[in-house]
Each structure stands twice: as C-alpha cells, then as structure tokens.
Amino acid sequence: MKLVVPRIDNSQLHNLLKRSKNCVDHQNKDRETISTHTYRNNVTEPNKIKEVIPQVYIECVSSLPQESRNFTTYTWRYSDCSLMKKPLNEFPNMKTILMNQNYRSTKNNLKLSDEIIAQNTDRIREENLFTFNITGIPISIRLQSFENDFAVNGIKYRVLGCFKFYDRMEVKDIISYARIVDNVNDDMAFERCINIPKRCIGEGSLASLKKAAKEKNLSCYETIRLVCKEKQKISGVQAKKGFKQFID
C-alpha cells in the first residue's frame, strides 16, 4: 500500500510521525511506499521520514537536474539545490527514472537548450532530452530591439550575414515617409521616397524640380504643390502626374 503526500511540506509529515507512535506503527504495518513532495523543499528532506519509518520505500519526484541546478525561479522561498545531491549519497540503492521526453518543444529548441546546459559545471548527471516532434523552424533572433538598445547606449556592433535593421531598403523608405509626414520640407527624405513606388519621375524631372525649388527658395514638396496649383511646366506629363499622385 502507498501513502501519497502531494504538495505538502515534508516537515509536517515528519513531525506528525515523530509525535505519534501509533501513526508510525500503522505506517510500518500497512505502508510499503511513501510518496513525498520534491527535493526542492528547503526544510526537512525525505531522509528524515526514513529515520522514523526505516522499512518503507520513499518515492520522491523532482524536476530534471539541469532545470533544478540552481532553482532560480524558486529562490524567493530559499530553495537549496544541494538537496538534489543528497539522495545519491544517503540512499545507495536508490533507483533513478529519468522522464526526459519533451512533448512541447521542437528538436531545434532542445538542441539549443542542451548546448547551453552543457556549459554548467555543476550538473549532477548528463541527460539527453528528446522529442518526437518535428524539427521546427530555425531559432531566429529579431535584431531591432537589440540594435535599438545598442544605439541608445552607444555600443558599437556588427551584424554578420545580413543587413542591419535600419540599413534595409524598405526600412529606410518607411522612415523617409515618416519624416515627410512630420516635416514636408525635408528634401532629403523627399528625394528618397518621391519615386517609391514608381511614379514615372525620372532623374531629369527631379533635377528640374530641384532647380525650380532653388530658384523659388522653396522646398521640393512646396514647389510641387505650387507647380500643380499654377499648372507650371517643369517636367513631362507622366512626371507631373507622378508629382500630383505623391501630393494626393
């Protein structure tokens, strides 16, 4: 018969058994196994229960050692990771059953996690996680958030194998449009986005526009509005349609 003690402080069970001889006699008589909570507990470990009821087997469930090596997520309750190593010495006949099949992650995720965990010098033993799930897409890292932080903090960096986020053509185009919305007199942004998408505005038409803007002491955008309003001729018919389309 098995006594299951789920999610309970092992010290509570230990103190109960220690105070009550009748309870101990009952457990010795009827119980073959006691299942307790994990070795994450920061108080009394299952071996103290073994001191009170020596002839029973104790089952103790725990996370995989690589997950439990530091118990980072449990430090708020002062967990002691050394408790994971105690049963190896105190229970020489202990049998360990590893449940290392992963049902949620993909093979790529497990491969990366194993490579990171392998750097831990305090591992109790080596486990190889496995899954029958599909390989999954390669793990990708979005550069934008990193590049933003690097730029804000003045950190120099290089991107290998691809363009920096803000060096990509489509990103530059979008930023140019945003600059025009913010300030219609931004001629540099205007020149970049005036023909994106294509509006049949060639280099000659753009040169004529810039020349007229300089003569009138206006920005390129203001010059286009003036040309379209007064029906002045500074370019071909198709280019003028393109200018009007840009304004509209």
pLDDT in tens, the chain (248 residues): 344 444 444 455 556 555 555 555 555 555 555 555 555 444 445 555 555 455 445 555 555 444 444 444 445 555 566 666 676 677 777 777 777 888 888 888 888 888 887 787 766 666 677 888 877 666 667 778 888 888 889 898 888 877 888 888 888 888 888 888 888 888 888 888 777 777 667 777 778 778 888 888 888 888 777 777 666 655 555 566 666 666 66
CA angle 57, 54, 82 (to 5 degrees): 70
- Parent domain of 231: 167-247
Please report, for the domain that includes residue 214, its CATH number. 1.10.486.10
The encoded tokens of residue 126 equal: 């080596």
Q: How far apart are the first and last CA of the chain?
A: 83
| Residue at a domain's end among 97, 129, 144 | 97
| Residue at a domain's end among 97, 113, 134 | 97
Instruction: Give SS3 for 147.
Output: helix
Please report, for the domain that includes residue 47, its CATH number. 3.40.50.300
Single out the residue of 6, 3, 78 nearest to residue 38, CA to CA: 6
Sheet holding 2-4, edge to edge: 2-4, 33-36, 57-60
133 found inside a domain: no
State how many domains the chain has. Answer: 2
Instruction: Give SS3 for 60.
Output: strand
CA angle 84, 85, 89 (to 5 degrees): 135
215 found inside a domain: yes
| Residue at a domain's end among 46, 79, 97 | 97
Instruction: Give SS3 for 144.
Output: helix
The whole-model pTM stands at 0.39
C-alpha 2/C-alpha 198 separation (Å) is: 77
* Cα 231 from chain centre: 56
243 found inside a domain: yes
